């Protein structure tokens, strides 16, 4: 007896739609990574071997390498900084902390001017650094 199969079953995976799925995933993560970054102003922070996270009532103060000063993404001058920090909303226990983002190529005197304005308004300061790798 000679029994033959007339229909051979071939296993096949159709991967044509896999390219579309991967493209949309890549696009989603690319857009999400651009939106998540809270500090839109680009500066090269100084490096540090040890770093800690900081989360309280904070204000971001950024000084770029071309000496542009920003208070929470709003361009200000050093003269305006003192008065704006006085009126800045504070947390429950009347504490406010400033995270200083200063480009590493900026002269130290500019950083000291910002720190003086924070000290006059009794604001705690944290200098943002990049972790040394």
How is the beta sheet containing 74-76 ordered, strand by strand? 74-76, 69-71, 58-63, 97-102, 124-127
Q: What whole-number distance in Å separates Cα of residue 88 and Cα of residue 123?
A: 10
Residue 55 has what pLDDT?
45
Residue 29 has what pLDDT?
86
Average pLDDT per block of 10 residues along the chain, 133 residues long:
68 81 90 67 69 66 91 88 84 80 89 90 86 68
Residue 26 has what pLDDT?
92
Rounded (5°) CA angle 64-66-67: 65
Residue 50 has what pLDDT?
65
């Amino acid at each position: 007896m000679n029994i033959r199969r007339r229909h051979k079953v071939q296993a096949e995976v159709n991967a044509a739609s896999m390219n579309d799925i991967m493209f949309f995933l890549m696009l989603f993560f690319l857009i999400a990574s651009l939106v998540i970054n809270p500090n839109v102003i680009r500066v090269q922070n100084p490096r540090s071997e040890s770093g800690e996270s900081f989360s309280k009532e904070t204000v971001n103060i950024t000084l770029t390498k071309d000496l542009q000063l920003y208070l929470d993404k709003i361009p200000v001058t050093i003269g305006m900084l003192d008065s704006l920090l006085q009126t800045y909303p504070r947390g429950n226990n009347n504490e406010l902390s400033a995270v200083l983002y200063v480009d590493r190529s900026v002269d130290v005197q500019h950083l000291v001017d910002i720190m003086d304005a924070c000290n006059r308004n009794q604001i705690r300061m944290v200098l943002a650094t990049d972790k040394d790798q």
